[in-house]
Every structure is written in structure tokens, then in C-alpha cells.
């Protein structure tokens, strides 16, 4: 049998091309550098601000219930992939070292325009 043909010899109809909504977006890795943002057009013309690199994080201290902006010094560990921590890439769940102390990132920086974190350990 010739591939792509029916037993009678007729051709199978081809699958439709990919639609805009089914094409995945380009993966963005938020690096630890000077803050850089980008505006992306979403479905329906909606605008979405994404982060390409960041140097500051909004850190919430649970003990005092206050939020402060702090400089990120280093990425200590990333539970999802240890190689991301070596490259200083900011992802959800990563433990970062800041001026205030250790903090865990609680949002997805590649999908949003900022880095939000919760303070784990004070310095």
C-alpha cells in the first residue's frame, strides 16, 4: 500500500493548518538583569505585559504583613529545574536572595510584568 492512500487508491484529505490560537507562544526565560518589559498582543486585541529580565521584586513579609520593593541579588535554588538556578532564571517557586533575606517567588514572571515573592528568612 502507498502511504497516505485508502485501500481503494483514493487520497486521504489533509488535516487543516494550525490556527493562530493553537500555536504556542515563544517560551520566555526571565533573567536576573536590568528590568526589561515587553507588550504582547493577545487574543481579541488584549495587551499583556511580560517580563524579559528583572532586578527588583515586590516582597511580602508575612510577620509584619507589609510589602517592600527589594533588589534581587541571586537565585539560590529552583525546585523545578536545578539548571535554571545556575543561569539565574526567575520562575515560580524559585528561592531568591534579596537585600531583605531569602524569598520564594509566588507568581509567574514570564506571564506577568513583575516579580512577587514571600519572605522566608530574614537577614
pLDDT (0 to 100) of residue 49: 92
User: Each residue of 4-30: pLDDT tens digit?
Assistant: 788 898 988 878 888 888 888 788 899
pLDDT tens-digit map of 32-48: 999 999 999 888 899 99
> In this structure, are residues 11 and 1 in contact, taking their beta carbons and an 8 Å threshold?
no
pLDDT at position 55: 96
Is the CATH code 3.10.290.70 the one for domain 25-122? yes
What separation, in Å, do the N-terminal and C-terminal C-alpha atoms of the chain show? 72
What average pLDDT does range 104-113 have in this prediction? 94
- pLDDT at residue 73, as a whole number: 96
Residue 119, pLDDT score? 96
Count CA atoms closer than 13 A to 1's CA, side-chain side: 9
Per domain, the residue ranges of the chain are 25-122
Predicted confidence band of residue 1 (pLDDT cuts 50, 70, 90)? low
Q: Looking at the DSSP assignment, which residues form a beta bridge with residue 69?
A: 58
Whole-number pLDDT of residue 97: 96
Residue-wise pLDDT tens digits, 54-88: 999 999 999 899 999 999 999 999 999 989 999 99
Amino acid at each position: 500500500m502507498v502511504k497516505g492512500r485508502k485501500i481503494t487508491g483514493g487520497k486521504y484529505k489533509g488535516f487543516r493548518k494550525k490556527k493562530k490560537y493553537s500555536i504556542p507562544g515563544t517560551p520566555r526565560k526571565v533573567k536576573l538583569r536590568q528590568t526589561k518589559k515587553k507588550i504582547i498582543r493577545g487574543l481579541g486585541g488584549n495587551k499583556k505585559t511580560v517580563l524579559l529580565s528583572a532586578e527588583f521584586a515586590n516582597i511580602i513579609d508575612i510577620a509584619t504583613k507589609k510589602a517592600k520593593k527589594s533588589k534581587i541579588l541571586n537565585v539560590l535554588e529552583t525546585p523545578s529545574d536545578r539548571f535554571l538556578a545556575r543561569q539565574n532564571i526567575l520562575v515560580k517557586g524559585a528561592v531568591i536572595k534579596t537585600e531583605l533575606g531569602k524569598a520564594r517567588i509566588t507568581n509567574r514572571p514570564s506571564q506577568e510584568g513583575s516579580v512577587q515573592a514571600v519572605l522566608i528568612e530574614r537577614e
